[in-house]
Amino acid sequence: MTAKKKPASLIESYHLLAYDVLDSTNEEARRLARGGASHGAVIWAKRQTQGRGRMGREWVSQEGNLFVSLLLQPKVELIDAAQFSFVTALAVAEALQPVVSEVGTLSLKWPNDILLDGRKLGGILLETEPTEDKKGFWLIAGIGINVESCPLEAEVMYPATCLKQAGIEIISAKIVLSRLLPHFVECYDRWMAKGFEPIRKDWLALAHGMGAQTSVRSGNEEYTGTVTGIDAQGRLQMELADGTLMHLTSGDVLA
């Protein structure tokens, strides 16, 4: 691994670790968790050599885009850990909304995508790591945002876009990160103080495909029905044609 680490002060209780190159910011967060890290590490790399998304999929990591992971140790039960993905996605949306409001519509796609005019602009990879004493756990939220470039359609499952392609020229990964962190801290503190319901409500206000008929691939199964919301654990609620209400923990929304 070739990396240049530059510690820096940040918002209170958070500290930035900036690298030129990492295999993966989530992997570095995991290494830090195992090596005695403190709550609030923000790991940022200009480039990743082994970036990944959900289900082990490759995350194309070209320099100029934003790759950052947040390492935290919230006092929540493990069953509630999935809520952190929605906290993080909402923070990204709130940070980018003023930037993109004149060029397109931002929305959030369950479980972890940020869309601009229906095309993938970014995503969240949520992972956990047990504490050394095995009595608690770390939460790692990896964030990837396409700032200067995006994969070709032949390289990805869904059409992608980037801020520059959308017509936002005076922007950089560093600027996006500087906008993101205050919003993340606010959303995280709101979650800790008030629970998931305010986050859930605000996430749903930006949700892609709510009330629409769509298909979801979960494991080896594919379901078609109407998306009605997300529940208190962040599971997708979907009403099938026969009236059955599904609660899906993971999957890919296909439209």
142 and 248 fall within a common domain: no
138 and 224 fall within a common domain: no
Verdict on whether the full-model pTM lies above 0.95:
no
DSSP string, the chain: -----EEEE-STT-EEEEEEEES-HHHHHHHHHHTT--TTEEEEEEEESS-B-GGG-B----BTBEEEEEEE--SS-GGGTTHHHHHHHHHHHHHHHHHHTTT--EEEETTTEEEETTEEEEEEEEEEEE-TTSSSEEEEEEEEE-SS----GGGSSS-B--TTTTT--S--HHHHHHHHHHHHHHHHHHHHHH-HHHHHHHHHHTBSSTTSEEEEEETTEEEEEEEEEE-TT-PEEEEETTSPEEEESS-EE--
- How far is the C-alpha of 172 from the C-alpha of 147, rounded, in Å? 6
Query: Measured between alpha carbons, how far is residue 62 from residues 29, 161, 180 in Å?
Result: 20, 13, 20
Domain membership flag for residue 1: no
69 and 145 fall within a common domain: yes
167 and 246 fall within a common domain: no
Query: What local confidence, expressed as pLDDT, does residue 56 receive?
Result: 53
pLDDT in tens, 114-155: 999 999 999 999 999 998 888 889 999 999 999 999 887 656
39 and 160 fall within a common domain: yes
Domain membership flag for residue 153: yes
Pairing of strands 236-240, 245-248: antiparallel
Residues with pLDDT less than 70, the chain: 1-10, 51-61, 153-157, 255
Q: Which residues form the domain of 17?
A: 6-205
Query: Measured between alpha carbons, how far is residue 255 from residues 8, 117, 144, 209, 213 in Å?
Result: 41, 13, 21, 8, 9
Quick check: 10 and 68 in contact, CB under 8 A? Answer: no
108 and 38 fall within a common domain: yes
157 and 201 fall within a common domain: yes
200 and 220 fall within a common domain: no
CATH of the domain at 87: 3.30.930.10
